[in-house]
Structures are given as C-alpha cells and as structure tokens.
C-alpha cells in the first residue's frame, strides 16, 4: 500500500486540499461543516502518512488543532521553507490550489515528522503574547506620530495612547494570571525570572513560543531560535559564518533580554566584554551573548535549577 501525503492551503473562505502521489484535489468551504467533511475524508484514506499546512496565523492553528484532536498526523511547517522548495521544483506561480499541491509534494519529498501540537491553553498563551507584541508596536508608532502631529490632532492621539497603555496593562495581568494557573508554567516562569535580564514579558514569550526550551541540546535550541552560526564555505573559500532563520518573536525577546544582561548579568557581562576586547564587532558579540544566555536558560529548565550567580574569585 503506497503512502499518501496531503497538503492543505488554509484561507479565510476555503480549504484547498491536494494528495500525493495521486494528484487528487478537493476544495471545501472553511466552515464547520467543511472542516467536518475534511476530517471524514481524511480518515477514510488508507496509508495516510502526513498532512502538511503552512504556519500562518489563527486560521491555520484552528484547522491544525481540529485535525490533531482527531488523531491525524498533522505537521505545521515554515512557509519560507515551502516557498524555497516550490522555487527549487520550478513552481513559480502562486494560487491557493497550487500552494496545496506544493505542500503535498513537500510532504512527500521531505517527509517532515509530526510533532505534538500545542493544547488549547498553550495556543491561548501564544495568542496573548502575539497580541501584546501588536499592542506594543501600535503604542510605539502612536508615540512617534505624537512628536510631529499638528496641535489639533494631538488630543486624539494622546487618547489612543492612553487606551493602548491600559490594554497593555490588562493583557499583562491576563498573561500573569494564566501562567499562575498552571503549576508547570509557574515553576518554569520562576526559574526563568531568577536570571538577571529575564523579565515577565520575556519569560511569557519563551514559554509560549519556545516550548522546546529545556527539551533539546544546546546546538538544537540555538538552531531552532536562529542564533546558531551557519557555515558559508565553498571549496577552499571560508566565508563568514552568519545566523539565519529561526523564530523571530523569540529572537526579538531574547535580544532585549541580552541587552539588559550585558549590564546586569555578571556571566553575560563578562562574556560580552571579553568578546569586545578581542575585537569582535558589537553585533557579533551580542548574538554570541544571545546564544550563551539561551543555552543557560535551556540548561536551567532541563535540570530544574534556578540561576546561580558565579562565585567571586578568591583574593590572592
């Protein structure tokens, strides 16, 4: 019996489905009855190996969660990886139906391994963290506009700023309350907060968007976040190693935490100054510190030990 691979392109109005290797395609409405029909058809397939969807917001998460709840082998993959696969196979055009076919082809060729999907509470935590990021971006934009706005428009901008600050404060309260409801999250949050440089927002971001923290080794976690240096060598040429890919939301939060840690965390501060004194550019030194801080956090959660400040050197 041949293996079957399924690609699903999710849009607001419909679900485009493609199967490999048969080439069969379906189109279903993106409504509860359409999702039920999709599940019914997928369950009837013999030899189903993987169902691949592109990561892309709430619509995809809703469909992936529904399929995962039925025990179907769902994999949510990076859109950039799929797009590069499409270019490599000569698929330059882009429509919803073509995207579903590319996803099915990607599933057949690459065979990504299904991973456990986040539960409802984890999805809610991730949505709150994402919403906080959106509010913060709007607040920063409005404050920048206020500087150059005409006097007649300033009261409305100020009112919007006040509303955004209130929303941000309430959302922070919701995030804290949700983390305190789970003993596991509460324990992990306390471990993270014990590290100088890690605040409540960074801790919530790591818990929501990096659930693998504490489960992988140091190389895997650095590569997953996108702070691992990648070689760029060809023949006898040795190119400069650079970072690439990863989870941008986690990386941004880790960057802000590292800036604070280079001033207030004795381990990261000493490491940063050692790199700068060795002639490393500021950006290179900061990325190296991000990687070191991430590895420290990963080890702490793996071992279940809080931050331990380094012992001072004995006087000689």
Q: What is the pLDDT along the chain (316 residues), one digit of tens a residue?
A: 589 999 999 998 999 999 999 999 999 999 999 999 999 999 998 889 999 999 876 788 889 888 988 888 999 988 888 999 999 988 888 888 899 999 999 999 999 887 777 788 888 999 999 999 999 999 999 999 999 999 999 999 999 999 999 999 999 999 999 999 888 899 999 999 999 999 999 999 999 999 889 998 999 999 889 888 766 666 666 666 676 677 888 999 999 999 999 999 999 999 999 999 999 999 999 999 999 999 999 999 999 999 987 766 554 4
Tokens of 267: 């381990």
pLDDT at position 8: 94
> E-strand spans in the chain?
4-10, 14-20, 25-29, 48-54, 74-77, 233-234, 237-238
Show the CA angle centred on residue 54, arms to residues 52 and 56, nearest 5°: 145
Show the CA angle centred on residue 236, arms to residues 230 and 239, nearest 5°: 30
pLDDT at position 56: 77
Cα separation of 19 and 38, whole Å? 13
Cα separation of 88 and 269, whole Å? 44
Which residues make Cβ contacts (< 8 Å) with residue 81, sequence separation at least 6? 106
pTM greater than 0.85: no
Provide the 3-class DSSP secondary structure of residue 149: coil
Distance in Å from the first CA to the final CA of the chain: 74
User: Environment class of residue 264 by beta-carbon count within 10 Å: exposed (0-12), middle (13-18) or buried (19+)?
Assistant: exposed
> E-strand spans in 177-313?
233-234, 237-238
DSSP secondary-structure letter at 119?
Answer: -
Q: At what angle do helices 183-193 and 200-209 cross, to 10 degrees?
A: 130
Q: Across-strand partners of 230?
A: 242
Cα separation of 141 and 72, whole Å? 42
pLDDT at position 78: 86
Tokens of 12: 């607001």
Pick from 267, 286, 266: which is nearest to 276 by CA?
Answer: 286
Cα separation of 4 and 83, whole Å? 21
Cis peptide before 151 (omega within 30 of 0): no
Tokens of 71: 């025990």
């Amino acid at each position: 019996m041949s293996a079957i691979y399924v690609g699903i392109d999710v849009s607001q109005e419909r679900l485009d489905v493609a199967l490999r290797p048969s080439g069969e395609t379906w189109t279903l409405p993106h409504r509860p009855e359409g999702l039920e029909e999709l599940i019914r058809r997928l369950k009837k397939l013999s030899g189903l190996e993987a169902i691949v969807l592109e990561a892309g917001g709430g619509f995809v998460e809703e469909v992936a969660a529904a399929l995962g709840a039925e025990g179907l082998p769902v994999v949510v993959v990076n859109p950039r990886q799929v797009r590069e696969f499409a270019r490599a196979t000569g698929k330059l055009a882009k429509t919803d139906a073509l995207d579903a076919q590319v996803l099915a082809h990607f599933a057949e060729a690459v065979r990504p391994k299904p991973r456990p999907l986040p539960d409802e509470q984890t999805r809610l935590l991730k949505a709150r963290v994402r919403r906080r990021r959106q509010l913060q971006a709007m607040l920063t934009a409005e404050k920048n506009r206020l500087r150059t706005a005409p006097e007649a428009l300033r009261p409305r901008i100020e009112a919007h700023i006040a509303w955004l600050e209130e929303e941000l404060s309430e959302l922070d309260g919701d995030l804290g309350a949700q983390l305190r409801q789970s003993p596991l999250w509460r324990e992990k949050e306390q471990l993270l907060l014990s590290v100088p440089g890690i605040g409540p927002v960074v801790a919530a971001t790591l818990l929501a968007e990096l659930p693998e923290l504490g489960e992988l080794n140091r190389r895997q976690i650095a590569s997953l976040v996108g702070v691992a240096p990648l070689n760029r060598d060809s023949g006898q040429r040795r190119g400069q190693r650079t970072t690439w890919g990863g989870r941008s939301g986690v990386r941004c939060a880790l960057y802000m935490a590292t800036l604070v840690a280079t001033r207030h965390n004795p381990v990261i501060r000493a490491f940063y100054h050692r790199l700068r004194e060795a002639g490393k550019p500021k950006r290179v030194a900061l990325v190296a510190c991000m990687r070191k801080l991430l590895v420290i956090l990963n080890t702490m959660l793996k071992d279940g030990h809080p931050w331990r400040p380094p012992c001072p050197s004995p006087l000689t």
